[in-house]
Structure 1
């Protein structure tokens, strides 16, 4: 007579039937949650100054950003470190009031007092440029101002 031995059972194969569903759910999740950069920088990325007391802005939808730094094309735009970028173009301080008023059109009137203007300025920009920007912001009553920095020591390098 033949002997009947126990068959060794291996682990069952993993079912890959739900794998496409998982891949498409992940793809859809990243497509929905990814935020694309809204502006293309026409200036070199500003080297932000350091600060010890740093606070994050809470509502990014109410923030309007002004970039100040060295233009990528210095022969076309003039000043070395005092180029101002509003949205996707280089501008002068006189263009700032229209820029702020256009930004207010996209926000409900209830939120106008909570709107913040963020200035991302290179550490080597002149103080006169910052003063010009602040004066133009006062002209349109945009009084909430944020100067972008990165957290670190304030000791000069």
Structure 2
């Protein structure tokens, strides 16, 4: 018999030296690609109407969004499907011109003609409220209006 026996080796251990590098690379990737929501919705998440022909908006930095729907917080304007949200507060249609003028001051004068107002209205919203918003937008010469809709069949 031999004095030295060969030891049977099992599976080698997994090398985890590169694991911290991979974890930090994934963390960095998600930090760079994640976008934060700009406004907190004070109305219930709008159930958008559906449409067969939808088109995505370009230049999202030039889009001012007006939400119309049911308020989920009782405020001075009450609750119901005719609430308007501008930025982070519930407002009335009388506040729409000031909202648009404020948005125009944040962009250069050359980009003002390309600004679009997007109306995200719940399918249960009153058409009269949307008409009031359109009239107020006409008063401040904000004539490019986009109505948000979900893709339907």
How far apart are residue 79 of structure 1 and its match?
5.2
Q: With the length of structure 1 as denominator, give the TM-score of the two structures.
A: 0.86
Structure 1 residues not aligned, in runs of 5+: none
How far apart are residue 8 of structure 1 and its match?
6.7
Corresponding residue for residue 108 of structure 1: 108
Quick one: structure 1 residues 21 and 105, their matched pair in 2 at CA, closer, same or farther if it must change by over 3 Å? same
Runs of 4+ in 1 over 3 A off after TM superposition: 1-14
How far apart are residue 7 of structure 1 and its match?
7.5
Rounded Cα–Cα distance in structure 2 between residues aligned with 1:144 and 1:54? 16
Q: How many equivalent pairs are there?
A: 153
Rounded Cα–Cα distance in structure 1 between residues aligned with 2:12 and 2:144? 63
How far apart are residue 43 of structure 1 and its match?
0.8
Q: The residue matched to 1:108 in structure 2 has which SS?
A: coil
Rounded Cα–Cα distance in structure 2 between residues aligned with 1:97 and 1:84? 13
Which stretch of structure 1 is more off in the superposition, 133-142 or 70-79?
70-79
Q: With the length of structure 2 as denominator, give the TM-score of the two structures.
A: 0.88
Corresponding residue for residue 88 of structure 1: 88
Corresponding residue for residue 133 of structure 1: 133
How far apart are residue 4 of structure 1 and its match?
8.6
Rounded Cα–Cα distance in structure 1 between residues aligned with 2:86 and 2:75? 19
Rounded Cα–Cα distance in structure 1 between residues aligned with 2:75 and 2:39? 22
